[in-house]
Amino acid sequence: MHATRSELLSPQPALFYQRSGNEVELFEQADRFGMPVLIKGPTGCGKTRFIQYMAERLGRKLYTVACHDDLTTADLVGRHLIGANGTFWQDGPLTRAVREGAICYLDEVIEARKDITVVLHPLADDRRILPLEATGEELQAAPGFMLVVSYNPGYRNLLKGLKPSTRQRFVAMAFDYPQAAAESHIVQRESGLDATRAEQLVALGNALRHLGEHDLEEAPSTRLLIHTARLIAAGMDPRQACQACMAQPLTDEPVAQAAIMDIVRVHFADQAQAPANRRIA
């Protein structure tokens, strides 16, 4: 029996995402009413994966912009370029998303320059418009357009942060690292590591997160746990994998690295040389 056209156009997302609450339903309702979404949470807790999952679930094209201090309004909106036939206008990722009815995701938005938020304001309220001063256009967002921004609250300081007038335009979601059982399942699913070792690795991650509150600039993310798990599943000694994927990326301080490795040895004291397990389905 052949699949219907609707079945072909609306497949289940192939990208794996472990739900932790009602974030999927909340995102879908925000999309339904044309509301922009703000997601805050620590680095590597699944914010970007969630946006990718939702774009696939909704059948939308996704434009992702990694924000930084040098990102200009022109980088986001577009600029005039010189070609063989003279000057021409080239849309930026935000403008393309507005025209196409796609999702535009601004990752770590507080790292962007302040003039970026001025561009976002008319898109993030009931007007849903994008004025293009360089061309004289005023674009009405196409149906399906959605603005999503994210940031890590741990990076906030007196010089960086979203103004209340900006924050109040968004539906906000707070993300955190998954609960241990859920994170263990994610690690297994993404790496092929067996359940016992995945649980050990998550326990290690949580122990280091408590250490991170005092001695590390940033706690180990779920992403780092997955990287570590993949090396272990491929046959690497767990302690070596933790050295390469946790101790070294988390800090350059020898004392802090030694403290991390002491905790690693405690968690993998009996498993360091055990054979890697096969990949799970």
Angle at 222 between CA 221 and CA 226, to 5 degrees: 120
Q: What is the pLDDT of residue 113?
A: 86
Q: Cα-Cα-Cα-Cα dihedral of 249, 52, 191, 214, to 10°?
A: 30
The answer to whether residues 91 and 213 belong to one domain is no
Residue with the larger pLDDT of the pair 236 and 113:
236
The residue among 150 and 1 whose pLDDT is bigger is: 150
pLDDT (tens digit per residue) in 57-71: 999 999 999 999 899
Q: Does 134 lie in the same domain as 86?
A: yes
- The mean per-residue pLDDT over the stretch 134-147 comes to 95
Give the C-alpha separation, 209 to 46, whole Å.
Answer: 16
Domain that holds residue 239: 180-267
Looking at residue 157, its pLDDT comes to 52
Residue 53 belongs to a domain: yes
| pLDDT of 156 higher than 60 | no
- 281 has pLDDT over 50: no
From 174, 197, 221, give the residue that closes a domain.
174
Phi, psi torsion values for 257, nearest 5 degrees? -60, -40
Across the range 178-185, mean pLDDT stands at 94
Residue 260 has pLDDT above 50, yes or no: yes
Residue 278 belongs to some domain of the structure: no
Predicted pLDDT at 278: 40
Which of these three, 148, 174, 200, is where a domain ends?
A: 174
3 pLDDT higher than 60: no
The enclosing domain of 125 has a CATH number of 3.40.50.300
Q: What is the pTM of this model?
A: 0.84
Is the pLDDT at 158 greater than 80? The verdict is no
- The answer to whether residue 4 scores a pLDDT higher than 90 is no
Q: How far apart are CA 135 and CA 138, in angstroms?
A: 9
User: What is the arithmetic mean of pLDDT over 36-60?
Assistant: 95
> Cα separation of 245 and 261, whole Å?
11
